[in-house]
């Protein structure tokens, strides 16, 4: 399956989430930045409130593109133990990097929400959406952060590896994925247009979503 762009992927994903249409006990949470255009289409089609749930990758020192884990809004951290052991990364290094990324999460939440408070998650079904899953570290961190708060956590993506979906099922109540091809190389291979989503696009989509009933209100 090849999607034209993230917006089309979101429109198709909404069909797989039809069961949640117009339910007052459901909220759509996007993982910025790439997950926001996908989640926006889902929220608009199903008439559900949209918000962000920020997760930051913890990059290996000197090899920042290699993820050794992730940290989510609220501080929940997930690490890849095998990478930590293979590269002999110390607890002090992990703590320093995690703290830096927590500060970045706080900054982005202020910037993206523009004075609006976060949507209420407690006691509701949270549909976590990203544009795709490779390792799934970000989605797992988000799920672990939400499990104590949400009644139910659903992970929904247009594309993911079969292995990642299997591993994720231990973290969430339900996994919904439109395509799970083998071998899985990269998320971008499933999109004709995979240009990076900008901060401005995130702000604009959240602002548009707030005009819908049930969206976050001004703080």
pLDDT at 10 over 80: yes
pLDDT at 215 over 70: no
The confidence score (pLDDT) of residue 168 equals: 94
**Cis peptide bond prior to 33, omega within 30° of 0:** yes
Span 131-186, pLDDT tens digits: 999 888 889 989 998 998 999 999 999 999 999 999 999 999 999 999 998 888 88
Q: What is the pTM of this model?
A: 0.87
pLDDT at 98 over 70: yes
Q: How confident is the model at residue 198 (pLDDT cuts 50, 70, 90)?
A: very high
Span 24-76, pLDDT tens digits: 999 999 999 999 999 999 999 999 999 999 988 888 888 887 778 888 888 88
Q: How confident is the model at residue 124 (pLDDT cuts 50, 70, 90)?
A: very high
| Nearest Cα to Cα of residue 162 among 138, 136, 140 | 136
Q: Compute the mean pLDDT over every residue in the chain, rounded to the nearest whole number.
A: 90
**Highest mean pLDDT, choosing among 18-32, 114-128, 199-213:** 18-32
Task: Compute φ and ψ for 144, nearest 5 degrees.
Answer: -65, -35
CB 116 within 8 A of CB 219: yes
Task: Compute φ and ψ for 211, nearest 5 degrees.
Answer: -75, -15
Task: Report percent pLDDT > 70 for the chain.
Answer: 96
Structural domains present in the chain: 1-219 (3.40.50.2020)
What single DSSP character describes residue 63? E
Helix ranges restricted to H, 47-149: 81-87, 91-113, 137-146
210 CB contacts (<8 Å, ≥6 apart)?
116, 216
CA angle centred on 108, ends 102 and 114, rounded to 5°: 140
Sign of CA dihedral 219, 139, 195, 63: positive
């Amino acid at each position: 399956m090849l999607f034209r762009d993230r917006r089309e992927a979101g429109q198709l994903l909404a069909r797989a989430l039809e069961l949640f249409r117009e339910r007052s006990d459901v909220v759509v949470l996007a993982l910025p930045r790439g997950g926001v255009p996908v989640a926006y289409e889902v929220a608009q089609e199903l008439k559900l409130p949209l918000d962000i749930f920020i997760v930051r990758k913890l990059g290996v020192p000197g090899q920042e593109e290699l993820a050794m884990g992730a940290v989510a809004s609220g501080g929940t951290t997930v690490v890849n133990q095998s990478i930590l052991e293979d590269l002999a990364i110390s607890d002090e290094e992990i703590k320093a990097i995690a703290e830096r990324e927590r500060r970045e999460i706080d900054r982005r939440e202020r910037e993206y929400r523009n004075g609006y408070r976060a949507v209420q998650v407690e006691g509701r079904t949270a549909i976590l959406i990203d544009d795709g899953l490779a390792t799934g570290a970000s989605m797992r961190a988000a799920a672990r952060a939400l499990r104590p708060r949400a009644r139910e956590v659903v992970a929904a993506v247009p594309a993911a590896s079969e292995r990642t979906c299997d591993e994720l099922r231990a973290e969430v109540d339900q996994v919904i994925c439109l395509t799970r091809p083998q071998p899985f190389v990269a998320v971008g291979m499933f999109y004709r247009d995979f240009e990076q989503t900008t901060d401005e696009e995130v702000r604009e989509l959240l602002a548009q979503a707030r005009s819908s009933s049930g969206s976050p209100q001004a703080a």
